[in-house]
Amino acid sequence: METVEMNSVSLKRPRSEDDVANADEIKRQKISEKSKTGNDSGQSVETVTEQPDKCLLEDTKNEIIPNEESEEQEDEELEDSDEDGDPESFADMMKHGLTESDVGITKFVSSHKGFSGILKERYSDFVVHEIGKDGRVSHLDDFSVPVDDEVNFEDPSEETFTVLSDEDKKRLEELQLLKNKETSVAIEVIEDTKEKRTVIHQAVKSLFPGLETKTEDRDGKKYIIAYHAAGKKALANPRKHSWPKSRGSYCHFVLYKENKDTMDAINVLSKFLRVKPNIFSYMGTKDKRAITVQEIAVLRITAQRLAHLNKCLMNFKLGNFSYKNHPLKLGELQGNHFTVVLRNITGTDDQIEQAMHSLREIGFINYYGMQRFGTTAVPTYQIGRAILQNNWNEVMDLILKPRPGAEKGYLVKCREEWAKTKDPAAALKKLPVKRCVEGQLLRGLLKYGMKNIISAFGIIPRNNRLMYIHSYQSYVWNNMVSKRIEEYGLRAVPGDLTLKGATAVHIEEGDVDNYTIHDVVMPLPGFDVIYPKHKIGEAYKEMLVADNLDINNMRHKIRDYSLSGAYRKIIIRPQNVNWEVVAYDDPRIPLFTTDLDKLEGKPLPVLPTYGKFRALKMEFSLPPSTYATMAIREVLKMDTSIKNQTQLNTTWLR
């Protein structure tokens, strides 16, 4: 699974008076934004917020979702309203968080002196472009809609989005989502012409998948009657008729998004289109606090409908539409290209040159980044270890018990209630956000009972459950790669592993000169893997024995929790590495243009020759499952953990 940074990190030492002034300005900016938007405190002033004029859902400000998801909608509103929380509380929580050394991240490969810089002071300072399996970098550079040879009844005209009244839309939505007992909705045709009736038919079918229409005469008046064609199934399976045979079943498009992760973006798109999220596919998940550009495919939704969303959605743009016969698959991508700005750097020109040359020539240790291990006082790898040990009481306790540090108030109350009563119903009552892991586990305990924790835990979505054991794998790997570099340095040695095709083989004594450190891989603990012949193999065994696990038997009695083996390169050397040091005075201005800036004709920012601050603009490409924060860590030589940064940067947080 591809992994890209999921957290904002500030990498710098305590600040000067100039920095404090900068921080105060940023604080005023954020307060101003919050008062304007009234919602996401993480929004930044450069956010594209084109307001809908005649949107798909002009009768409501919230995305419409089915009845069974109404509780999740409430959860989302609660989570959004408290997303960042009080900075001082966040800093207090992070005092109990992890540092890099806690998860085995201890070594560097370069010899230059470290320096300070701020990563993601603005989310637009971190831009990710996906690299497809053909090596092409995804860019948003075209808003045009492809034209078919065949006319498709599904292709909506602009009038389609405005012909229905707010009341019509509300009634049709309730019919589509089976919110009442009505079997049909009648819409009177005020201007009775064939053209007008056609537009209404088209609007209903295009905007409300699963509904069919017919025309009826009632008391001398014409009505369009909307009714269900296939019930709930139609929401998950778009209609197969009215789709030209010559057109590919999947509309591929480039999604440009700001400050949203991929799954959140898919959920928003699906709600606006009134379809299920599972008809979308993609090659990899992307960061939230960033600007990201990636390819998405969707089943039997026209480019016209998708393009109209550009008028309706904040922080998204869709373009580069094409029709193809296939969806996208996770892991198909070659990697990601990163454009990163490190602001307010302190390094000299020589230090920066040394650091960037080392990154290009040697690379960085391919550690799993801090976001892999969670941000609270209970690391995700500890829960993963308990799962692998088959210690289900420990799993339950680690997830639900009170923990040090600040948390959202409702979680604190829920944990306190659990510690006091061990009553899942009572604890659940204290938890308005039921969709979180704690809420899902409590629901499971309520359903299956305290003696069946395995089934209760199974209510948590599979990807979330597997995240815990993958976190433990990552924890072991980080520790072992640090030990490997400490023992043998940056050279291949006999007993190391390298990949020949998909097969891992040992490097033999007489063959060692044919390999470099860039050829060496190390195993992730799991069944069906080869362990190194040198002392690192013994270190793996010792670490797992200390955790009451057997390195030779990583199969779990529950198949999902059996760790399959894999291999990971020790050192990653980024490709397409470029950098530039620029001066700037205003921390609020962007330091480069994005795809959207270029489409909208925005000029390059005008920067001073000598400014109050200096920034390092860097670009590089990485393969899947590598962490850009670990590359940046190597450049700056600083701990990327949120715990460390909040201790250094309490002024910035306020």
Active site residues: 287
Please enumerate in sequence order all residues whose Cβ is within 8 A of that of 408, keeping only pairs 6 or more positions apart, or say none.
Answer: 82, 85, 433
Q: Are strands 497-500 and 335-343 parallel, antiparallel or unpaired?
A: unpaired
User: Which string of b and e fits 483-507 if b means at least 16 CB within 10 Å?
Assistant: bbbeebebebbebbbbeeeeebeeb
Say how far apart CA 357 and CA 368 lie, in whole Å. Answer: 23
Nearest 5°: the CA angle 296, 288, 360 is 90
Structural contact between residues 213 and 177, judged by C-beta atoms closer than 8 angstroms: no
Say how far apart CA 305 and CA 273 lie, in whole Å. Answer: 8
Say how far apart CA 30 and CA 654 lie, in whole Å. Answer: 11
Say how far apart CA 452 and CA 455 lie, in whole Å. Answer: 6
Using alpha carbons, select from 314, 267, 300 the residue that is nearest to residue 65: 267
Using left for φ > 0, alpha for ψ between -120 and 50, and beta otherwise, residue 43 falls in beta
Q: What would the two tokens of residue 316 be?
A: 């998204």
What does the DSSP assignment read for 296-333? Answer: EEEET--HHHHHHGGGT-SSEEEEEEEEES----TT-S
Say how far apart CA 96 and CA 517 lie, in whole Å. Answer: 36
